[in-house]
Amino acid sequence: MWVMSMVRRTLPPLTTLRAFEAAARLVSFKAAAEELRVTQSAISHQVASLERSLGTPLFLRLPGRVELNEAGVIYFPVVQDALDKIAFTTDLIRQNNAPTSLTVQVYVTVAVRWLIPRLQTFKEKFPEIAMNLDASLLDWEFNPDRADVGFIYTRAPNRPNLTYTLLRRERLVGVCSPAIAKSITGPDDLRHFSFLSVSGNTEDAASWAASVGASGLSQKSSPLFDSNLLAIEAAANGQGIVIVPEFLVEGDVANGTLVAPLASDLMQPGGWYLVHLERRGGEKAIRKFLQWIQGQA
């Protein structure tokens, strides 16, 4: 007969272990604070608390930086492995005991003009997954606290603990209303019209104009839009020319609502990615959505 004995474990608080693991992995209290979304002072206090609990320092405090000492080098892989196992098992239990749903972070323009028209095919293929969209004008980087996956544009797919899957690289096109397009027969004609600027993409117009051979353009005053969605609508209503990723206006060009009067091979410097936390890559809903969106993109 087996008798299970009570094992009394004396463990430091989990918050101190998380602070130590992040600081040791990133070799920086500041970077650990940014990752855990706390102040650098909080990381310093948590690490100091852990060191008092252990009765020994774990870091060498050097001018402008920190390094693990001998005790820290021994302790770090053990703590990291334990936290990884806790996180993995927690996610697995949540996945197996929660309704299957997926929240996708997506820019509002991409949601309205590309993703939503295609979502019915996802629902038909995977009816067991409830899809939620988190569309924002402001969040350009993926926020794993708000969504399971993100469909984002970035030039630097290298944030720690995230997996990026390239979906597409996109050409920039200049589009306008049919009425304006009739007046554009060459690059020199662009000087007669306004370019509609979008926050965060204000350099695209000059880059595109240069790519079609236009130079020395005297820009008329025009409003600054906070999304491609609004700028595209303004262009369709004859207010100027907008430079956008081609996939956002393919339907409009096909049906004649917008016209691309001058051809260009200018590509966006970054790419469009599906991104999620590394440790969640094995979840069924994420894997199915990635499979589906790769086919669409």
CATH number for the domain that contains residue 189: 3.40.190.10
Please classify residue 250 by burial: count the beta carbons closer than 10 Å to its beta carbon, then call 0-12 exposed, 13-18 middle and 19+ buried: middle
Average pLDDT estimate for 94-109: 80
> What is the domain extent for residue 111?
99-166+270-296
In a domain, 8, yes or no: no
> Do 92 and 228 belong together in one domain?
no
pTM of the model: 0.66
In this structure, are strands 130-136 and 101-107 parallel, antiparallel, or unpaired? parallel
CATH of the domain at 54: 1.10.10.10
Domain count, the chain: 3
In a domain, 227, yes or no: yes
> Do 53 and 191 belong together in one domain?
no
Check residue 257 and report its DSSP letter.
S
Lowest mean pLDDT among 79-93, 127-141, 241-255: 127-141
Question: Using 50, 70 and 90 to split pLDDT, how confident is the model at 6?
Answer: low
Structural contact between residues 276 and 163, judged by C-beta atoms closer than 8 angstroms = yes
pLDDT given for residue 2 in this prediction: 45
Structural contact between residues 141 and 159, judged by C-beta atoms closer than 8 angstroms = yes
